[in-house]
Structure formats: structure tokens, C-alpha cells
């Protein structure tokens, strides 16, 4: 596991991207810290219903950028293809907030609506298969803070990097 505050991690990823790796950034815990609106179940897992209820425009504006956001913004600036894969419903407010940080992904893998209750790893697995061919998936690198999501990406033929996030 790598911590994203490590400058060497960002430099290593930038070099990989320059050589053709296509990054897929998770949002919560990788690009943004949204723990201010996170509610956990007694077992420590995310209470998805409460999280979705807290998914308001005002709360989304309070999500703070994490260091990996700089790498995504660099990809935007350099016009390098990349994606985000998130358990969020990628609403207009999330899009606007990310755009304000310079993050404009080419592809978004997300929940369709608040009724989409697939587990995060299933959502990302299905999204990678739907948006990328088998040969394209060999160039993908999912950057995520959840081990199960990384395993799901590897099952599709992509690579994955587990990033430590202390907020969950």
C-alpha cells in the first residue's frame, strides 16, 4: 500500500502515464476527502443510504482535494486520457466541483442513480468491462483506496494501485 502524500508516488505515476498507462482515479479517498459527510454502520462499513442522503450540493462543495487531484489535473492539462471510477452518483455538483479543481475525465464510471446499490467493487468491475476493450484494459491502472476494488480491476485484466487513505 502506498500513501498518496508521498511525492515519489506522484512522480512514479506521472512517469507511468507518460509511457502509456491510462489512470482510473477513484474519487472518495483518492481525489477528494468527503469524510465530513460519511456515516458508518456499527460494523465499520459505509452506510450507503446515509451517504447518499448527505450527497447535497452544499456538502459536495465542502469535499476537499487530496494530493492525487494534482495528477488528475495534470492529465487534463496535458490532454492525456483518463477516467474516474466512483461509487458516487456522478451528479452535476460533483462534476462542477472536480472541474473547479482542474479534473475533467474522459470517462466516468459511477452509479446511475441513488437506486443503484451495487457494491463498489462490482460497480467498478462492470464499468471497466463496459468502457474498455480487453486490450485497452491491459494499459489501465485503477488508483483506489479499497482493496476489493483493486482486486476487481485486476480480474478484468487491468492493473491496480492501493492508496492509503486515513479517512475511512
CATH code of the domain in which 78 resides: 3.40.50.1000
Say yes or no to pLDDT of 9 above 70.
yes
Chain mean pLDDT for the chain: 90
Question: Angle at the Cα of 167 (from 166 to 168), degrees rounded to 5?
Answer: 100
Q: What percent of the chain has pLDDT over 90?
A: 68
Judge whether 111 and 130 are in contact, CB under 8 Å: no
Can you give the pLDDT at residue 1?
A: 55
The structural domain count of the chain equals: 1
Give the confidence band of 168 by pLDDT, cuts at 50, 70, 90. low
Mean pLDDT of 12-40: 92
Secondary structure (3-state) at 49: helix
126 burial (CB, 10 Å; 0-12 / 13-18 / 19+) is middle
Mean pLDDT of 139-150: 96
Can you give the pLDDT at residue 5?
A: 62
Structural domain that includes position 149: 2-164
> 50: part of which helix (H) or strand (E)?
helix 48-53
Cell of residue 156, nine digits: 478484468
Mean pLDDT of 39-67: 83
Pick the residue with more confidence: 103 or 9? Answer: 103
Mean pLDDT of 43-65: 83
Mean pLDDT of 136-148: 96
Pick the residue with more confidence: 108 or 53? Answer: 108
Can you give the pLDDT at residue 49?
A: 79
Cell of residue 96, nine digits: 462542477
Amino acid at each position: 500500500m502506498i500513501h498518496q502524500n508521498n511525492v515519489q508516488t506522484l512522480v512514479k505515476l506521472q512517469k507511468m502515464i507518460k509511457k502509456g498507462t491510462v489512470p482510473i482515479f477513484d474519487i472518495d479517498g483518492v481525489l477528494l476527502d468527503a469524510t465530513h459527510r460519511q456515516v458508518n454502520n456499527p460494523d465499520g462499513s459505509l452506510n450507503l443510504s446515509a451517504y447518499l442522503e448527505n450527497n447535497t450540493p452544499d456538502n459536495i462543495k465542502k469535499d476537499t482535494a487530496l494530493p492525487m487531484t494534482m495528477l488528475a489535473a495534470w492529465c487534463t492539462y496535458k490532454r492525456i486520457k483518463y477516467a474516474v471510477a466512483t461509487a458516487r452518483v456522478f451528479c452535476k455538483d460533483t462534476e462542477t466541483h472536480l472541474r473547479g479543481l482542474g479534473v475533467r475525465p474522459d470517462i466516468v464510471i459511477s452509479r446511475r442513480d441513488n437506486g443503484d446499490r451495487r457494491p463498489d467493487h462490482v460497480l467498478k468491475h462492470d464499468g471497466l468491462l463496459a468502457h474498455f476493450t480487453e486490450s485497452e484494459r491491459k494499459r489501465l491502472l485503477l488508483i483506489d483506496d479499497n482493496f476489493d476494488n483493486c482486486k476487481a480491476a485486476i480480474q478484468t485484466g487491468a492493473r491496480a494501485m492501493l492508496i492509503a487513505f486515513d479517512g475511512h
